[in-house]
């Protein structure tokens, strides 16, 4: 049963702590990465046979396989995928940055140019669940940014096939290439390249502990989006909220993972008790009841604050991945929220809207990193390069100042590189 805690009467460590199983897989992952680096496709085939029980003769999904997959998906779901993709495109198109040039001073030009990364790789989890939403959310911003080649890696089933809804979503998102490989070996293949899988500049997408560790180990050789932890939701709800709705929203994250965190913050003890009762009613009805049960029992909390304003303070300290504001006038609270991955406003805006359909990205910072990190966006797939131009006259006007500054830092070669050009005045 979920714990109900009064904020004013307990140690803050109890509020902000979370039980989580964090196995150390770094040694296993480093071995996999090294083998793929040295042996390329051969290692990928070997690991795919070992972990996915699939004996493959080729790694890349063919155009015919994609066409067959799209044809096999029910038309109604294809319609929904296309509608979601359009919402995602509309939202992320507003994130596009433009290059700029500043030339307000005579003889001086500075600026910044925006360049997309050439090639990006997206990891899409496989196994018991398929996540076409991840394909849309992570591929569409990349294509909007101008990435020339977007590659997906995703584990096949034992027959060597990819879930058709993954391939359908990839087709709708405009993905360029898809490979049948998962786990740490997929991340290694993207980072180093193999005979079949090209080396990429950036790797994005969620995965299990092995995938997360692999992303961590290849960072620096390639860029990554983030190291995502277990899912989180914090619902801030006033006493007028429907307890059944609130419980359902908490469970929408609890069913993800036994380590997921679902937290309700409210000023109403009556709501807290009713939500606890609702959780007990709803959990047995879920297909993933065992996972949700463990998540709620280990990491679920209901925090009874003195006021909603205090609830916002708690939310800012937790910096949750998902934050719901279940109140009548959520825009009144928006400016007070400083730390959250994505905010869901009002009583009729469940977090699931953000996971699938609304348009804002669902790849979000977890584990309190929303204090300094942002959701995945078009920015993740571009580089910003500065440039500077000075005429001779413009340099001569400031060369002594630059030299003086450099000498204050003890860097005399820096200083000389600026003032040496002044010798031309006396020539």
Known catalytic residue: 321? yes
Of 267, 321, 324, 351, the active-site residue reads: 321
Closest CA relative to residue 253, chosen from 374, 91, 362: 362
Of 322, 324, 351, 362, the active-site residue reads: 322
Q: How far is CA 45 from CA 13, 102, 194, in A?
A: 47, 52, 11
Report the C-alpha gap between 81 and 69 in whole angstroms. Answer: 14
Helix (H, G, I), strand (E, B) or coil at 262: strand
User: Contact 237/246 with Cβ under 8 angstroms?
Assistant: yes
Report the C-alpha gap between 81 and 321 in whole angstroms. Answer: 24
Report the C-alpha gap between 218 and 210 in whole angstroms. Answer: 12
Question: CB-based contacts of 65: which residues, under 8 Å, 6+ apart?
Answer: 161, 162, 167
DSSP 60: B
Half-sphere exposure of 160 (CA within 13 A, CB side): 12
- Which helix (H) or strand (E) is 118 found in, with range? none
Q: How far is CA 276 from CA 231, 270, 272, 298, 321, in A?
A: 20, 10, 6, 14, 22
Cβ burial, residue 50 (10 Å; 0-12/13-18/19+): exposed
Question: CB-based contacts of 284: which residues, under 8 Å, 6+ apart?
Answer: none
Give the pairing type, strands 100-102 and 108-116.
Answer: antiparallel
User: Contact 56/48 with Cβ under 8 angstroms?
Assistant: yes
- Which helix (H) or strand (E) is 184 found in, with range? helix 183-192
Report the C-alpha gap between 94 and 99 in whole angstroms. Answer: 15
Point out which residues pair with 406 in neighbouring strands: none
DSSP 61: P
Report the C-alpha gap between 205 and 227 in whole angstroms. Answer: 9
Q: Which of the residues are catalytic?
A: 321-322
């Amino acid at each position: 049963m979920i714990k109900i805690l009064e904020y004013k009467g307990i140690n803050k460590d109890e509020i902000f702590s979370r039980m989580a199983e964090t196995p150390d897989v770094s040694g296993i992952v480093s071995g996999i990465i090294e083998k793929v680096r040295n042996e390329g496709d051969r290692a990928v085939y070997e690991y795919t046979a070992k972990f996915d029980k699939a004996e493959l003769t080729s790694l890349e999904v063919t155009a015919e396989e994609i066409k067959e997959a799209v044809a096999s998906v029910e038309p109604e779901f294809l319609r929904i995928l296309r509608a979601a993709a359009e919402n995602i495109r509309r939202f992320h198109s507003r994130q596009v940055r433009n290059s700029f040039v500043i030339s307000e001073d005579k003889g001086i030009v500075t600026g910044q140019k925006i360049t997309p990364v050439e090639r990006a790789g997206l990891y899409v989890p496989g196994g018991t669940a398929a996540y076409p939403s991840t394909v849309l959310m992570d591929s569409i911003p990349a294509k909007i940014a101008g990435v020339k080649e977007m590659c997906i890696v995703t584990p096949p089933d034992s027959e060597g096939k990819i879930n058709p809804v993954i391939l359908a979503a990839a087709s709708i998102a405009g993905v360029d290439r898809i490979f049948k490989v998962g786990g740490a070996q997929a991340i290694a293949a993207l980072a180093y390249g193999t005979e079949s899988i090209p080396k990429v500049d950036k790797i994005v997408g969620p995965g299990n502990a092995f995938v997360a560790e692999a992303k961590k180990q290849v960072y620096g050789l390639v860029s990554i989006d983030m190291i995502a932890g277990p899912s989180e939701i914090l619902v801030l709800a006033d006493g007028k909220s429907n307890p059944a709705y609130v419980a359902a929203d908490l469970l929408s994250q609890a069913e993800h993972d036994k380590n997921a965190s679902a937290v309700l913050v409210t000023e109403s003890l009556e709501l807290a008790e009713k939500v606890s009762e609702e959780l007990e009613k709803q959990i047995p009805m879920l297909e993933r009841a065992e996972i949700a049960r463990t998540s709620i029992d280990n990491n679920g909390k209901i925090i009874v604050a003195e006021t909603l304003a205090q609830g916002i303070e708690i939310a800012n300290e937790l910096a949750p991945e998902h934050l719901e504001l279940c109140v009548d006038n959520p825009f009144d609270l928006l400016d007070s929220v400083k730390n959250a991955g994505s905010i869901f406003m009002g009583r009729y805006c469940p977090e699931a809207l953000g996971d699938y359909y609304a348009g804002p990205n669902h790849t979000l910072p977890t584990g309190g990193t929303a204090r300094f990190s942002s959701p995945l966006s078009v920015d993740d797939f571009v580089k910003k390069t500065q440039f500077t131009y000075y005429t001779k006259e413009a340099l001569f006007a400031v060369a002594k100042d630059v030299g003086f500054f450099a000498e204050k830092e003890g860097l005399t070669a820096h200083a000389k590189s600026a003032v040496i050009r002044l010798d031309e005045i006396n020539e």
